[in-house]
A = this chain, B = another copy of it.
């Protein structure tokens, strides 16, 4: 199994970072504006990605499987790209001086292929967007996300 992992440090209290990860409004501020559903444990959050001209280019549903306040958020993807279904995204949070450290992991990809590489790069840009959102009040959620290649 293959994992995508990233580390980012955000100059803000851990409670602010946790709020950005554990609520629909939060996720809409850094991942995609088109975020809806229930962010409670066992709830399903839906995310949709639109092109600049408003066409849907992708969507996923994820179940909220863990919410440990100021420590951990975990999602399990129940629909979306075939490679994503059944995989888990985990955010582990800790405080280190002025920084909240986010250890990101998208775990249990079946293989490391070109799409995995694309998603690793794309997750990194969304972690930068999360950092910007919490530090400045404004992230870069889709469709204003950083474009990295000819796929998105």
Contacts and interface: CB of A to CB of B under 8 A. Distances in A.
Contacts of A19: none
User: Chain A interface mostly helix, strand, loop or mixed?
Assistant: mixed
Copies in the complex: 2
A8 B103 contact: no
Contacts of A128: 125, 146, 148
B127 A121 contact: yes
Contact of A99 (B98, B105, B149): B149
Interface residues of A, number: 33
Interface stretch (A35-43, A44-52, A80-88, A110-118): A110-118
Contacts of A103: 114, 117
A124 interface: yes
